[in-house]
Copies of this chain bind each other. A is one copy, B any other.
């Protein structure tokens, strides 16, 4: 089928490739004209000079996939689309938006009889080759209409209509919360291995565990790859960003009265990795000096 794709970054660009390779027609737009030229050349997608141009190059019941950063870029793209599209058209947000924003945006769209679908998308840079795991929220009608897109982007069994609008990004949010916990579990284990009294071969253990152990996983396969390329993790700083889903998961856990100590500890470990020094630790150092005469380290 025919679809517009807005946002040709790492994720959006690969999606255009996967769609065109499988017979779909794509009209592609990005703020960067070079990205548009590039994707048109490499995939046969039709480039668009602007969002209005993209909308014009679609016909009938138009479907537009937004693959832009969450927050302001998504908000502004949506507003532009709502000013251009017609009743019955479908907007898909494939990015990492907060599901509460998606529910709010769907209301805006529905007020104009425009459909809104939130598609949580997992798979990262491997999605082009392996397919993207898609968690899709929206009305039965709209989701059914777009199914050829979803089944192309996803591997077999890798697409699910999770429920009403918002549920796609909700499930993706929890997915990422779990991912935080998995990553931190491995991280702690490998730090304990590294600090051990035994001179262990971490790359070899990573490979070993991927063969028959209980902890084998796709992430552990990636760690095997990482260690194969860089056994000492040289030049990699212990500094970890977060892109929002982890903190949202903690907030929703709190909203639901669900204890989530592991996901939260994983989030806090990322915060700590980005601090030069903990002010709280300074408070404790000052206090221990007061009550115990314990020496403080001076800066």
Contacts and interface: CB of A to CB of B under 8 A. Distances in A.
| Majority secondary structure of chain A interface residues (helix, strand, loop or mixed) | helix
B240 A291 contact: no
Q: What copy number does this chain have within its complex? A: 4
Given A191-B280, A212-B133, A282-B233, A287 B186 contact: yes
Contact of A218 (B125, B170, B214, B258): B214
Interface string A152-164: 0011111110111
A178 interface: yes
A257 B277 CA distance: 13
A280 B184 contact: yes
Given A166-B198, A223-B283, A290-B226, A277 B237 contact: yes
Contact of A198 (B167, B190, B207, B289): B167
A190 B226 CA distance: 29
A117 interface: no
Nearest to A219: B287
A182 interface: yes
A208 B158 contact: yes
Nearest to A190: B283
Interface string A264-276: 1111111111110
Nearest to A253: B192
A263 B185 contact: yes
A155 B298 CA distance: 34
A188 B272 contact: no
B211 A157 contact: yes
A247 interface: yes
A192 B285 contact: no
Contacts of A291: 124-126, 214, 219, 222
A199 to B, nearest CB: 7
A157 B241 CA distance: 34
A261 interface: yes
A278 interface: yes
B191 A298 contact: no
A126 to B, nearest CB: 7
Interface of A: 10, 122-127, 130-133, 135, 137, 154-160, 162-164, 166-167, 170-171, 174-196, 198-201, 204-205, 207-220, 222-223, 225-226, 230, 233, 235-241, 247, 249-254, 256-275, 277-294, 296-299
